[in-house]
Amino acid sequence: MEKVKILVVDDEARMRKLVKDFLIKKDYEVIEAADGQEALDVFFDQNDISLVILDVMMPKMDGWEVLKEIRAYSKIPVIMLTAKGDERDELKGFDSGADEYISKPFSPKILVARVDALLRRSNLISEEEKIETGGIIMDKAAHTVTIEGKQIELSFKEFELLTYFMENQGIALSREKILNHVWNYDYFGDARTIDTHVKKLRSKMGDKGDYIKTIWGMGYKFEVS
């Protein structure tokens, strides 16, 4: 069985080696790139990359530009790395289509745990399972969502979030529970991560976005009227 291939992009050789060493221990294959342009060259040259770990601050082309190019062609999971701890940068990362956002310095073990979680979720999709409710059809095998016959484009995290909502229809879900299941790790940030994703998801769902009810002071509930 072929190893899962991960692209690690960072202009610091020491950082790339640190991340690579931990990923190799988990039996991942690691491809490296030292700047944004090289990252895109590698990404489009090799069509079997399963996940990208992408630094924000790099020469030639920064991480935001690289992410934008990748997202134009692929929904592959992307983890952003940055030295900045500014909340605005984190929200920008999610708004740009990043699946995870980790500020430096970070624990390599935590990074690997998040890699595992993202890959586990993308690999454990049932080949035949579909969920249909209220005019929404979710095909987990094809990773598509159709509303009233029209397919909508969702990021990896938005798809996982909607999946969790639809699988728990009518159940009140706390933000903590959503974080634990959708992000699949112990999250120490605040609820704005969820709220940002829910806002974008509702917008993309149009009128069906009303199915996602806000439960003030607690979280959300997916309920078809």
Amino acid at 59: P
Side-chain-side CA neighbours of 29 within 13 Å: the count stands at 9
Q: 90 vs 102, which has greater pLDDT?
A: 102
In this structure, how many other beta carbons lie within 10 angstroms of the beta carbon of residue 161? 24
Query: Among 68-82, 99-113, 136-150, whose mean pLDDT is lowest?
Result: 99-113
pLDDT of residue 72: 87
Do 111 and 53 contact (CB within 8 A), yes or no? yes
pLDDT exceeds cutoff 70 at 188: no
Higher pLDDT, 23 or 217: 23
Q: Domain 130-222 classified CATH 1.10.10.10?
A: yes
Domain ranges for the chain = 5-123, 130-222
- Contact status, residue 58 vs residue 35, Cβ threshold 8 Å: yes
Q: What is the mean pLDDT of residues 32-43?
A: 94
Tokens 């990748």 belong to residue: 70
Question: What class, spelled out in words, does domain 5-123 have in CATH?
Answer: alpha beta
Residue 190 confidence (pLDDT): 60
- pTM (2 decimals)? 0.57
Mean pLDDT over residues 144-170, rounded?
A: 91
